[in-house]
Amino acid sequence: MFARLLGESFARNPRRKVLTAAALVIGMAVATATLTTALEVGDRLAREFRSLGANLLATPESDTLPVEIGGVDYRPVDEGAYLNEADLGKLKTIFWRHNIEGFTPFLDVPAYVAEADGPVTVIGTWYEHGVPVPDGTTFKTGLSITHPWWKIDGRWFGDAASECVVGAALAAKHPTTFKIGSTINVAKSGDVAAKTPLTITAIVSTGDAEDNSILVPLSLAQNLSGHPGEFRSLFVSALTKPADALAERGEMAQNDKNIQLTQTEYDRWFCSPYISSISFQIKTVLPGTEVRAIRRVAETEGRVLSRVSTLLWIVTLAALIAAALAVAATSATTVIERRSEIGVMKALGASNFAVTGLFLLEQLMLAVLGGAIGFVFGAALARVLGQSVFGAPAAPQFVLLPIVLGLASIVALLGSLIPLRRAAHLRPALILRGR
């Protein structure tokens, strides 16, 4: 009998059912699209932010302060501490190793360049370099990943070549000698006689101190400085999540021994890709280093990611509220139209539970149908949004299907509560008398 009543209800009032289902389809489509985008927006935006450059800087803990004047480092090469190049492969063994997008070592060497008629800082680094990892693999990294915004006119040097790239500001000061294809002679400060000829392969513009320097392969700078296999600083590009209260507490705990994390807090902090937890893990595999966030990049990432995520959740909530209001309106109209049917059911002995159960079952059936259709339309909408915003379509997240169906059921039930409460309080005697 219950199934027959449901079937007749759908057959006799299809328009109201279609309106309820349509409201749920639209609401669930928007919710599916925003939730799908929210699941991917963190990683996608984090990768987009990698164009801002590295977000971590590692230096020796016992290093001395650099002495720079006009972009030239006048600190003696024998002063200060160094890091071991052979340890860099360990960065791909930390817990968040897959979040390490790339890293690039730097070694500044005060040098004398005859063609510049004075001291110039020579910077040893990598553009594209294969780093052996302890698991037997090789990780390709270098400036191409950590400093992608650098503009270059020409080509980068090879790892083992006697080549160099000259900063744009330095090249502008000596346009006749510092040009692509020319050869310059570089010597260590204090040992002018031992010159190393280098071929200029490109002019680079960075907007920073490198514009007044000469960039060479790291191995060449190491030989020039007398520190083979060592470097002075390391830029790391890592995928991170925005900082929250736990991230800030974890960072403070690393700097202040009076602040202690509980074991649960520590596990959550360590197993979350916060910039502070990744910094801590880097220090564990590169002992004797100080790792700090490059705030210009890290804070921009966190601020934008938080705002975008908040916006997506607001849109999702608004879509659910709108769907609930639409369901409430159609449910109220349905109850008014079916007052006579409700009165007859109660006169024949139907309880309030049976009456409300009939209407709730109708709403749940519409919720499942509307949620399933809305999920399909929402997945298609998410692909369009992904293509237009990120240049790559968002893949359907089937893990969201039960969540969307659950949300549709909740929306349908909440939207029906007030109309069903009115239906439960209808008095059959008054209804049957036409009042």
Contact 151, 202 (CB under 8 A): no
Q: What integer pLDDT is reported at residue 64 of this predicted model?
A: 47
| Residue-wise pLDDT tens digits, 240-278 | 877 778 888 888 887 777 788 888 988 899 998 888 899
- 146: how many CB neighbours lie within 10 A of its CB? 23
Strands 163-167 and 195-205, how do they pair?
parallel
DSSP 259: -
| Residue-wise pLDDT tens digits, 378-388 | 888 888 877 77
Angstrom distance (rounded) from CA 85 to CA 140: 14
Angstrom distance (rounded) from CA 47 to CA 41: 10
Contact 124, 218 (CB under 8 A): yes
Which neighbouring-strand residues pair with 326?
Answer: none
Contact 115, 178 (CB under 8 A): yes
DSSP 92: G
C-alpha neighbours within 13 Å on the C-beta side of residue 13: 19
Angstrom distance (rounded) from CA 131 to CA 219: 13
Q: Which residues contact 399 (CB under 8 A, 6 or more apart)?
A: none
Per the listing, tokens 């501490």 go with: 81
Report which of 44, 38, 36, 39 is spatially closest to residue 376, judged by C-alpha positions.
36
pLDDT in tens, the chain (435 residues): 445 555 555 556 667 677 778 888 888 888 888 888 777 666 666 555 555 667 899 999 875 455 554 444 455 555 568 899 999 999 999 999 998 989 999 999 888 887 777 788 899 999 999 999 999 999 999 998 888 889 999 999 988 888 999 999 999 988 888 989 999 988 877 666 678 899 999 999 988 888 989 999 999 999 888 889 999 999 998 888 777 788 888 888 877 777 888 889 888 999 988 888 999 999 999 988 999 887 655 555 556 666 777 777 888 888 888 888 888 877 777 666 666 666 666 655 566 656 666 677 777 888 888 889 989 988 888 888 777 766 667 777 888 888 888 888 888 888 777 776 666 565 655 555 555
* SS3 call for 416: helix
Does the pTM surpass 0.85? The reply is no
* In the chain, domain spans: 2-46+302-432, 55-293
DSSP string, 173-194: HSTTTSSTT-EEEEEETT-TTS
Q: What integer pLDDT is reported at residue 335 of this predicted model?
A: 66
DSSP string, 310-351: HHHHHHHHHHHHHHHHHHHHHHHHHHHHTHHHHHHHHHTT--
